Amino acid sequence: ICCSDLAYMSDYRRPCNFFYNVTGEEAERLLRQYGSDGEFLARPSESQPLNFTLSIIRGKAITHVKIQKNSDDFLDLFG
């Protein structure tokens, strides 16, 4: 979802596809309403404030993948 196409979402846009202050439920609603297969958005994690979540739509299913920095300063993906 490139939120520049959606006027009311412009407050969430920092770079496109990164959404601040969006919950998991809101991410699902946005993807179902505006997303198409394979589109995603990234957002801060609700449960782990220093990490992030990638929400992806595939068909009608939405998957949330945790993105966490490990002790070696690499990113680990959990989904």
DSSP string, 31-48: HHHH--TT-EEEEE-SSS
- The number of residues making up the chain comes to 79
Phi, psi of 48 (to 5 degrees): -135, 90
Name the residue among 11, 60, 52 with its Cα closest to residue 31.
60
Question: What is the tally of helices (H) and strands (E) in the chain?
Answer: 1, 4
pTM: 0.73
Task: pLDDT band for 63, please (50, 70, 90 cuts).
Answer: very high
> Domains (ranges, CATH) in the chain?
3-78 (3.30.505.10)
DSSP annotation of 23: -
Tell me what pLDDT residue 72 has: 84
pLDDT score of 24 more than 90: yes
